[in-house]
Amino acid sequence: MTNLLILIPIALGLGALGLCAFLWAYRSGQFEDLDGDAIRILQDDE
């Protein structure tokens, strides 16, 4: 039972950290142009 008192806050903290990382990436524009990289890799630059 004491293990749950340690693991639950750790799990909640890691979840909050993941949510903060996602929100930071979203606000900095990481998900703006998802198709651009897919097309850019197929183009032949000389």
Number of domains observed in the structure of the chain? 1
pLDDT reported for residue 9: 97
Q: Which residue in the block uniquely carries the two structure tokens 């197929």? A: 42
Range of the domain at 24: 2-40
Q: Is the predicted pLDDT of residue 4 greater than 90, yes or no? A: yes
pLDDT reported for residue 46: 65
Q: What are phi and psi of 38, to 5 degrees?
A: -65, -35
Kindly state the DSSP code that residue 29 receives in the 8-state scheme. Answer: T
In a domain, 35, yes or no: yes
pTM of the model: 0.67
Q: What is the pLDDT of residues 5-36, one digit of tens each?
A: 999 999 999 999 999 999 999 999 888 888 88
Question: Tokens in use for 37?
Answer: 């990289």
In a domain, 45, yes or no: no
Supply the Cα-derived Rg of the chain in whole angstroms. Answer: 19
Helix and strand totals (H; E) in the chain: 2, 0
pLDDT reported for residue 15: 98
Of residues 45 and 38, the one with the higher pLDDT is 38
In a domain, 16, yes or no: yes
